[in-house]
Structure 1
Amino acid sequence: MLGAQLMIILDATVVNIALPHIETGLRFSSTSLAWVMNGYMLTFGGLLLLGGRAGDILGRRRMFLAGIIVFTLASLAGGLATSAGMLLAARAVQGIGGALASPAVLALVVSGFPEGRERVRALAIYAGVVTGGASLGLVLGGVITEWLSWRWVLFINVPIGFLVVALAPLFVAETPRLPGRFDLVGAITSTAGVAALVYGFIRAAADGWGDRTAVAAFAAAVVLLAVFLLTEVRTPQPITPLRLFADASRSGSYAVRLLLVAGMFGVFFFLTQFLQDVLGFSPLRAGVAFLPMSITLFATSRVAPRLIPRFGGRRMMIVGMVPVIAGMTWLSRVSPATGYWDGVFGPMLAFGFGMGIVFVPLTTASLAGVRREDSGAASSMVNVMQQVGGSVGLAVLVAVFGTATRSVLAHPVAGLSAVALRHRVLSHGVSAAFGLAAIFDAVALLAIIVLLRGGAQNPAAAAGRPERGPAKTRVGQDVG
């Protein structure tokens, strides 16, 4: 199950290193290139709750396998793409497959381990796969792009997908099918609303904030998301149980995740281009350049569960946010004169260390105290906030990037060569995007301080409490 989750998470970032080659090969513009990432994250994040609900009604193993098959075939189509439109369509279908398969993983982890020490350890492994997998994708993308082709960052999913489909029935038991209805209106309006919001930001990045199409997209997003909220209030079986947001600590943890991932995907997207276009790194060298962050993040996330019972989750999150904000602020100072060792290596270490501390207690806080019948929806909501935070956050940062680059082009410096001007424009835009990402992280820290109290302060405290029922160890046997 974690192997499949790793494949799905990898695909959110493995394409990053290949973006410059995709841009050239399929003739993307600098701003439309973000859709290679957002096309995947939008359908993934927008349909995750529907995928979780489908697992409840039709059986989690059945939907897991269906999702992996869709994901694998879409990966094959994306690798064979001959136009930008074909690649974006394949990425969107990949997201649909991920949305069907991914909800089963975290729900089975939550239901398979009792709340307390065992669940914290299990969630630590899950968090390590999710966060470490995202950064590992950058390294793997560099290796594949350098040695093979950008197309192989998608082809690599095909043998893994078929292997998962072959092995899953041997180890994963089918879950009972529960009666219920699909909230299709909620799924469609939420996905379309977020897509319109992202499109508005990306359109503004290319054509300015006064562009009529961008304004119309923002207006459509407001209407669609308002209809979504009204639908969820009135429908007897909503795709998003709004009672999940009744607890301030849980709502705060969702908001923190959204803000953190928004900044994190900005680091992946913009730093990849800075390393290759400004510093002149090859794809392989650019991927390896992310190793300090990947290693630090994974190592820290493995230690974090042992520290939660002693220091409390909320205190650890506050401590972890300090290097995250410092690292992002440091990155906001990049310029054409910035080198890897004096301006990138240090922020990567700080970012990896801080994120490794924050994500384990944050995931635990999002799931603490959730009723058994809501475990699937709560687990899916964690993934939704991650994917929506990545897509919307990246769109906002791309819009800021576009505005900053236009301002530089409007006031050119005499005597600069074409290459020097390109480096100056890209560096200024990346610096502005990282500055906004640092603000995202500062707001996340404020949300932790103000909202995450009570159960979120020490989510592992339940370790000493007796279990509320027998633990089921066979994967898939005890799903709420």
Structure 2
Amino acid sequence: MTISDTTSPPLATADGSASAPDQAWTARLWGVLAVLCLVLFLDGLDVSMVGVALPSIGTELGLETTSLQWIVNGYVLGFGGLLLLGGRTADLLGRRKVFLVALTVFAIASLVGGLVDNGTLLIVSRFVKGLAAAFTAPTAMSILTTTFKEGPARNRALSIFSVFGASGYSSGLILGGLLTSAGWRWTFLMPVPFAIIALVGGVLLIPRDRPADSGGHDLVGAATLVAGMLLAVYTVVSAPARGWTAPLTLASFALAAALLVTFVAVERRIAHPLVRLGILKVGAIVRANLSIIALFGSYLSFQFMMTIFLQSGLGWSPLQMAMALLPAGLIVAVVSPFVGRLVDRFGSPRMIMAAIGSLSAGYLWFLFVGSDQPSYVVAIAPSVILLGFGFAFGFTSIMAQATAGVADSEQGLASGLVQTSMQVGAALVLALTTALVTGGSHAAGAAAVSFDQFRPGLVLVTGVALVGLAITVSPLLRRRGKYTAVPVVNRA
């Protein structure tokens, strides 16, 4: 079931094809969007806010660096490991039901995390919270894409959705600093009342929907997918500390690959697969998933390096560091509401190309202009501004392309796929960046105080963005060559 009201004839997209009719935005429609945006805001807030509180948590609970990292990585493990299953489960069991149950678990895990006095229990609560987010994030996206018709309405909704996601990441840095000064537990407790508000709003506003007609009898596929994804994400986030060539790391990668290969084999033969692999044959969807890795993986890794460099290298306070990076979040908040119109006019491929081009320019600028004592106005601010525009243009455009043309019964799958690419890809790029920046040190960032120590990581981040740019540009160049080629006529 979708909330829709057709008010205008079909519109033309940038490539001249007809799009779905526009849609009237009723009060209930705005309410559904507000609930979904609040949940995405909480997801982004949680990732960035907790990182600021880690030193205080370690001091009070007596946790070493190796244990502290799992407060972050435990969330990433649960989130990235089950995203694809979470999206498909929403299709099979019903989006509304899965969303509300997962949001309830998210709120309870947040409350427990703020009350426990044991490091192990805190890490477990973070893992459970990540599991819940693995169901709320793709389900929220699939509710949005099935509630808003493909075309201008969906692009506009995705633009607003992106504002709240980026605002969560950017405001989490500042709120984390303020709340940690009052007590680190507040960084865990603060999301609880907002999650409850979203839960009540979801019960009242989100329409009931029908589960998919098929695909619910693939227990072997579900088991191999969950085991393979969890092991893959675990290996990626633990490899920097253990060593990329350590026997256990290599064995974990091999086992994860074997499980995922088994999953693919099962999906190709079973009558009702958990995941229809044919969705990966759509070039635009594959490029969208690769683009989100380039976008989010490079952005998150650059933010990680800047956080260490500004605090450990330049001696800035957490609040000063947050304010230095804040312009990127503000640009996203201001620009994102208009990106949907730009996608309607120019098409998502061109917008993605502009986005990753802007990111690449920002990384290249800081790579060549940065120094041990960089000028904020000359070196840092231009990069931050370029990254802000890149993220603002890219997130909405990629999400629109990743879900375009997909049937309602598979919107959860498409949403889970692109968000899995985003989280797992970002974890991989961040793990590689961490290894390069720390030079193999087990204590991430412990010795990173000079700009030269960050240069290998900056080269990697820039390379990831440039590869993403090449993937985005190549089909546009092929298309232009196809339409502009002039046959050679033999005039002899």
Does TM, scored on the shorter chain, surpass 0.5? Answer: yes
Structure 2 residue runs without a partner (length 5+): 1-34, 480-492
Matched, 1:377 2:413: yes
Quick one: which of 195, 204, 225 aligns to 1:161? 195
Deviations along 1:331-361, one digit per CA (max 9) or x if unpaired, are: 4465543354443322111101122122222
TM-score norm. by structure 2 comes to: 0.81
In 1, Cα distance between equivalents of 2:390 and 2:383: 10
* Residue type of the alignment partner of 2:456: A
CA shift, 1:436, in A, is: 0.9
In 1, Cα distance between equivalents of 2:463 and 2:113: 35
Match of 2:111 in 1: 76
Aligned partners of 1:189 and 1:224 also within 8 Å:
yes
Distance 1:307 1:100, change over 3 A: closer
Distance 1:318 1:200, change over 3 A: same
Equivalent residue runs for 1:246-257 within 5 Å: 246-257=281-292
CA shift, 1:444, in A, is: 0.6
* Residue type of the alignment partner of 1:443: V
* Residue type of the alignment partner of 2:336: S
In 1, Cα distance between equivalents of 2:73 and 2:243: 20
Match of 2:468 in 1: 444
Aligned partners of 1:38 and 1:391 also within 8 Å:
no
Quick one: which of 94, 106, 119 aligns to 1:59? 94
Quick one: which of 262, 265, 276 aligns to 2:297? 262
Quick one: which of 169, 193, 196 aligns to 1:134? 169
Quick one: which of 162, 186, 192 aligns to 1:152? 186
SS in 1 for 2:180: helix
Aligned partners of 1:232 and 1:238 also within 8 Å:
yes
In 1, Cα distance between equivalents of 2:347 and 2:48: 31
Match of 2:422 in 1: 386
Distance 1:235 1:85, change over 3 A: farther
SS in 1 for 2:439: helix
Matched, 1:227 2:262: yes
Matched, 1:171 2:196: no
Match of 1:359 in 2: 395
Match of 1:474 in 2: none
Aligned length: 441
Match of 1:424 in 2: 449
Equivalent residue runs for 1:253-292 within 5 Å: 253-292=288-327
In 2, Cα distance between equivalents of 1:453 and 1:175: 41
CA shift, 1:32, in A, is: 6.0
SS in 1 for 2:244: coil
Match of 1:294 in 2: 329
In 2, Cα distance between equivalents of 1:119 and 1:343: 37
Distance 1:188 1:346, change over 3 A: farther
Match of 1:469 in 2: none
In 2, Cα distance between equivalents of 1:193 and 1:241: 17
* Residue type of the alignment partner of 2:125: A
Aligned partners of 2:155 and 2:341 also within 8 Å:
no
* Residue type of the alignment partner of 1:165: L
CA shift, 1:120, in A, is: 1.4
Match of 1:395 in 2: 431
CA shift, 1:441, in A, is: 0.6
Distance 1:422 1:208, change over 3 A: same
CA shift, 1:404, in A, is: 5.9
Distance 1:338 1:22, change over 3 A: farther
TM-score norm. by structure 1 comes to: 0.83
Deviations along 1:429-474, one digit per CA (max 9) or x if unpaired, are: 443223211111111101101247999xxxxxxxxxxxxxxxxxxx
Higher relative contact order (CA 8 A, sep 6+): 1
In 2, Cα distance between equivalents of 1:28 and 1:198: 23
Matched, 1:348 2:384: yes
Aligned partners of 1:50 and 1:182 also within 8 Å:
no
Match of 1:98 in 2: 133
CA shift, 1:221, in A, is: 2.2
In 1, Cα distance between equivalents of 2:476 and 2:417: 17
Aligned partners of 2:77 and 2:130 also within 8 Å:
yes
In 2, Cα distance between equivalents of 1:452 and 1:380: 26
In 2, Cα distance between equivalents of 1:108 and 1:370: 13
Distance 1:190 1:59, change over 3 A: closer
CA shift, 1:202, in A, is: 4.4
In 2, Cα distance between equivalents of 1:454 and 1:151: 54
In 2, Cα distance between equivalents of 1:81 and 1:331: 41
Aligned partners of 2:50 and 2:176 also within 8 Å:
yes
Distance 1:167 1:239, change over 3 A: same
Structure 1 residue runs without a partner (length 5+): 410-420, 456-480
Aligned partners of 1:254 and 1:366 also within 8 Å:
yes
User: More displaced, 328-337 or 218-227?
Assistant: 328-337
Quick one: which of 72, 79, 92 aligns to 1:44? 79
